[in-house]
A = this chain, B = another copy of it.
Amino acid sequence: MPDPDFSGSLDSTERVEEGRVLEPKFGADGLITCVATDASTGDLLMVAHMNAEALRRTIVTGDAWYYSRSRKSLWRKGESSGNGQRVVEMRIDCDQDAVWIKVEQAGAGACHTGRRSCFYRKVEGEGGKIGLAFVDADKQFDPTNVYRK
């Protein structure tokens, strides 16, 4: 992949929505939302953020790079856990402020808790109270063995 240039002017709604130029709209914090789904099953794996450099590296290398808001740093998915993501396809939405990557998820899962997907709980109303129910409680790996403190 060639090196992308994100210096678009975003001056026209028509151009952003109907154009063929990638002009990602980063937020005031310099980040764009990225949704990652499993390329084979279609399952939603995670929602994370990219800054311009993470997006650039993802496009150029084909590996998923993100920006960690808590750690305030660029991060290649899997660099600690080994559970990296190879990008099969990248899409951008109508107003170019969200990215969707379909990935081949390496290892046991995308979630740092050890699950395949970060979305392992559903919101439920039961007995007059809102709560969470585990849809997938099983940890595919033990995060304490994977992430060093």
User: Which residues in A have some Cβ–Cβ distance to B below 8 Å?
Assistant: 1-2, 4-5, 17-22, 33, 35, 37, 42-44, 46-47, 59, 89-95, 98, 100, 111-113, 115, 118-123, 125, 128-135
A-B contact pairs, 23 of them (CB 8 A): A4-B130, A5-B130, A20-B133, A21-B132, A22-B123, A22-B131, A22-B132, A33-B33, A47-B93, A47-B98, A47-B100, A59-B130, A90-B122, A90-B123, A91-B121, A91-B122, A91-B135, A92-B122, A92-B132, A93-B118, A94-B111, A94-B115, A100-B119
Q: Which residues from B are CB-within-8-Å of A33?
A: 33, 47
**Are A130 and B94 in contact, CB atoms less than 8 angstroms apart?**
no
Q: Are A113 and B17 in contact (CB under 8 A)?
A: yes
Q: Which residues of B contact A113 (CB under 8 A)?
A: 17-18, 94
Which A-B residue pairs are the 8 nearest by beta carbons? A47-B98, A93-B118, A4-B130, A1-B125, A91-B119, A90-B123, A42-B42, A94-B118
Q: How far is the CA of A44 from the CA of B114 in the complex (A)?
A: 24
Q: CA–CA, A100 to B111, complex, Å?
A: 15
Shortest distance from the beta carbon of A140 to any chain B beta carbon, whole Å: 13
List B contacts of A131 (CB < 8 A). Answer: 20-22
Shortest A103–chain B CB gap in Å is: 13
Report Cα–Cα, A59/B130, bound state, in Å.
9
CA distance A19 to B121 in the complex (A): 9
